[in-house]
Amino acid sequence: MYSLGLTITQLSVLRSVVDEGPITAARLAALEHVSPQSIAQSLAVLKAARLVRGEPDPEDRRKTLISADPSAAELITSLLAGRESFLARAIDQVVAPEERESLEKAIELLERLAAADLSGGA
């Protein structure tokens, strides 16, 4: 668990709300590649922490749009800055200059995997 007692999954959902919001829970589930039940659980924690809120969609009152509190954007920015700083230091200390190209290729492959949409069937 991280800041405020949030899990990595909850932080990922929060980042998606910050980046994409206002957004529906169904769209969040698709973005995060998780079930609607999992999103509901994460959103309940984030709402209790007052990091997100739900409001009726003005175009379809049956839907709820999830928005991030300004403090959520600050939290995500802070966590990302810390992570980037750590990674830069770790790369400088651990990865030899001749290994940097291999690292860049590995990062590219990981980004492609993270962006994969497997919902359409093989």
Contact 33, 39 (CB under 8 A): no
CATH class of the 3-115 domain in this structure = mainly alpha
Residue 88 has pLDDT above 80, yes or no: yes
Contact 69, 52 (CB under 8 A): yes
Residue 76 has pLDDT above 70, yes or no: yes
More confident position, 31 or 88: 31
- Three-state SS for 51? coil
**Lowest pLDDT segment from 54-58, 60-64, 84-88, 103-107:** 84-88
Distance CA 69, CA 25 (A): 16
- Three-state SS for 66? strand
DSSP state of 84: H
* H/E stretch holding 41: helix 36-48
Average pLDDT, the chain: 88
Query: Model's pTM, two decimal places?
Result: 0.68
Percent of the chain with pLDDT over 90: 51
More confident position, 117 or 95: 95
Contact 52, 43 (CB under 8 A): yes
